[in-house]
Amino acid sequence: MEPLTEHRLVSGPVVYGFLRLVRVSEARQEALAASLAEYCRRHELELSGVFTDREASADPRSSAFTGLLDVLALPDVYGVLAPAASHLGPRAIAAERGRRIEAAGSRLLLVRRSRPACPPAASTTAARRHSPGTTRLLETES
């Protein structure tokens, strides 16, 4: 009898990590690399390598990012994984790098999403009482 799929070793979609580590302690570097590996483990992704940008440059074309773009051209690469959008650089550089990742046909995956500026509404539905014992739920438009 064949073992179940969950018990077979299968490789998930291939991703490459990207870290921007400017003046960061070694312990922090290890923790960030571990967060990428744990994210891949939980989401069944194959982390094939991590590119590290150690320069605080205002140019989106660092050697680490250029190397990342090179591997995104390989067949069967699913995307790029970063701990947060800030690892792509300051906002303008991060936006440009995000566009380049998408232009390469890859997805940008973030371990931690940025928080919205305003807290979300308390509820997406509103209750209105029409008669005793009856509650009607109305969905709000989005």
**In terms of C-beta distances under 8 Å and separation of at least 24 residues, what long-range contacts does 105-110 make, across chains too?**
105/72, 106/72, 106/77, 106/78, 106/79, 106/80, 107/78, 107/79, 107/80, 108/79, 108/80, 108/82, 109/15, 109/39, 109/45, 109/79, 109/80, 109/81, 109/82, 110/81, 110/82, 110/83, 110/84, 110/85
For 35-94, what is each residue's pLDDT tens digit? 999 999 999 999 999 999 998 776 778 999 999 999 999 999 999 999 999 999 999 999
**Residue spans per domain, the chain:** 12-110
Confirm whether pTM is higher than 0.85: no
Query: For 12-110, CATH number?
Result: 3.40.50.1390
Q: Is the pLDDT assigned to residue 137 strictly greater than 60?
A: no
For 119-136, what is each residue's pLDDT tens digit? 555 444 444 444 444 333
Q: Place 140 in a pLDDT band, splitting at 50, 70 and 90.
A: very low
